[in-house]
Copies of this chain bind each other. A is one copy, B any other.
């Protein structure tokens, strides 16, 4: 069965408005796939943490959960911090399969959408 639960994982910031794009992506995703369970989670400052978001979905009975790192690029946060966080989560949720998706900056159609937007923005 395809995953029906996903966590949108972002960095976090002090300004509450910072989270708006991630809430918007959650809405767009649920509009395309109404039955899906979507949680936001943050590495720093904002709540919930990734561990809390996974726990919420696991309690709701999801045995397979996708994690989408909504970072523009892969630096220390995704290469060093995230694997440790995932190890801790896996130790707590043995029956749950966690499927880590690539970072936004590694997804060619998204980079192409950015390039297309830039061409349009410069023509205006």
Contacts and interface: CB of A to CB of B under 8 A. Distances in A.
Interface of A: 2-4, 6, 10-11, 13-15, 17-22, 24-25, 28-29, 31-33, 36, 66, 68, 70-76, 79, 101, 103-119, 121-124
A76 B15 contact: yes
Identify which of A19, A32, A72, A104 gathers the most chain B CB atoms within 10 Å of its CB. A72
A73 B119 contact: no
Contact of A73 (B21, B28, B36): B21
Contact of A13 (B19, B20, B75): B75
A113 B21 CA distance: 13
Contact of A71 (B28, B36, B72): B72
Contact of A29 (B72, B79, B108, B118): B118
A41 B35 CA distance: 41
A32 B116 contact: yes
B73 A105 contact: no
A25 B70 contact: no
